[in-house]
Amino acid sequence: MEPWKNAAMKKKRRPVRLRCSVKNYDWGILGHHSKVARLFALNSGSDIDPAKPYAEFWIGTHESGPSFAESGSEEDPVSLKSWIARDPSVLGQKVLDKWGPDLPFLCKVLSVQKALSIQAHPDKEMARVLHKLHPGVYRDDNHKPEVALALTEFEALCGFISLKELKEMLRTIPEIAELVGVADAEKILLVGERHESGKVNTDLEAMFSRLMLSSKETISKMISKLKRRLNQEKKKRQLTVKEQLVLRLENQYPADVGAIAAFFLNYVKLKRGEALYCGPNEPHAYISGECVECMATSDNVVRAGLTSKQIDVQTLLSMLKYRQGAPEIMQGVSLNAYTTRFIPPFEEFEVDSCNLPHSASVVFPSFIGPSLFLVTAGKGRFDAGLAGDDVVTEDDDIVEEGEVLFVPAHTKISITARSTELHLYRVGANSTFFRDL
Q: Are 436 and 430 in contact (CB under 8 A)?
A: no
pTM to 2 decimal places: 0.92
Give the distance from CA 181 to its chain's centroid: 35
248 carries an active-site annotation: no
**What Cα–Cα distance (Å) separates residue 44 from each residue in 36, 41, 57, 112, 128?**
12, 5, 11, 21, 35
Cβ atoms < 10 Å from Cβ of 53: 21
Q: Which helix (H) or strand (E) covers residue 128, if one does?
A: helix 124-133
Give the span between the Cα atoms of 206 and 100, in whole angstroms.
Answer: 42
Burial bucket for residue 94 (CB in 10 Å: 0-12, 13-18, 19+): middle
Each residue's pLDDT expressed in tens, for the chain with a length of 437 residues: 334 334 434 445 689 999 999 999 999 999 999 999 999 999 999 999 999 999 999 999 999 999 999 875 565 789 999 999 999 999 999 999 999 999 999 999 999 999 999 999 888 888 888 888 888 878 877 878 899 999 999 999 999 999 999 999 999 999 999 988 767 777 777 776 555 555 678 888 989 999 999 999 999 999 999 999 999 999 999 999 999 999 999 999 999 999 999 999 999 999 999 999 998 999 999 999 999 999 999 888 999 999 988 889 999 999 998 999 999 899 999 999 999 999 999 999 999 999 999 999 999 999 999 999 999 999 999 998 765 555 444 445 899 999 999 999 999 999 999 988 999 999 999 999 888 65
- 13, 38, 303, 426: the catalytic one is 303
Give the span between the Cα atoms of 41 and 175, in whole angstroms.
Answer: 47
Query: Rounded to the nearest 5 degrees, what angle is found at the Cα of 280, between the Cα atoms of 65 and 149?
Result: 60
Instruction: Return the pLDDT at 75.
Output: 59
- Taken in order 277, 278, 283, 287, is the CA torsion positive or negative? positive
Concatenated DSSP letters for 241-266?
HHHHHHHHHHHHSTT-HHHHHGGGEE
Instruction: Return the pLDDT at 12.
Output: 52
All domains of the chain in start order, with CATH: 1-18+77-104+347-437 (2.60.120.10), 19-76+107-158+269-330 (2.60.120.10), 162-261 (1.10.441.10)
